[in-house]
Amino acid sequence: SPLAHLAAVASAFAASEQVAVLTSDQASMDALYEAIKTEYNVDVHENRFPIVGCEDVPGFDAIAEGKAADVETVGPGIVN
């Protein structure tokens, strides 16, 4: 899981800086909160880690299906 790298990535930034976590389904991510905290020693409910659910971004459903998303399709929905 990319979340395994979150603590290492966050350590490269100041404690006051945020590291966004993009997910294909925010509700599923919320359900895994305790497991993420235990397994990766990261509290994703800290203000430092804004969770961004991308379930409404056109084309992002490919990620939930385990496929690669088309960058040109999902890019505008993530940037905006």
Nearest one of 19, 44, 18 to 31, comparing CA atoms: 44
Q: Note the pLDDT of residue 10.
A: 93
Query: 39-53 pLDDT, tens per residue?
Result: 999 999 999 999 998
Q: Which helix (H) or strand (E) holds 23?
A: strand 21-23
Q: Note the pLDDT of residue 12.
A: 96
Q: Note the pLDDT of residue 25.
A: 87
The residues, ordered by sequence, that sit 6+ positions from 16 with a Cβ below 8 Å of its Cβ are: none
Give the whole-angstrom CA distance, residue 7 versus residue 41. 8
Query: 16-65 pLDDT, tens per residue?
Result: 999 999 988 888 888 999 999 999 999 999 999 999 989 899 998 898 88
**Through-space distance between the first and last CA atoms of the chain, rounded to whole angstroms:** 26
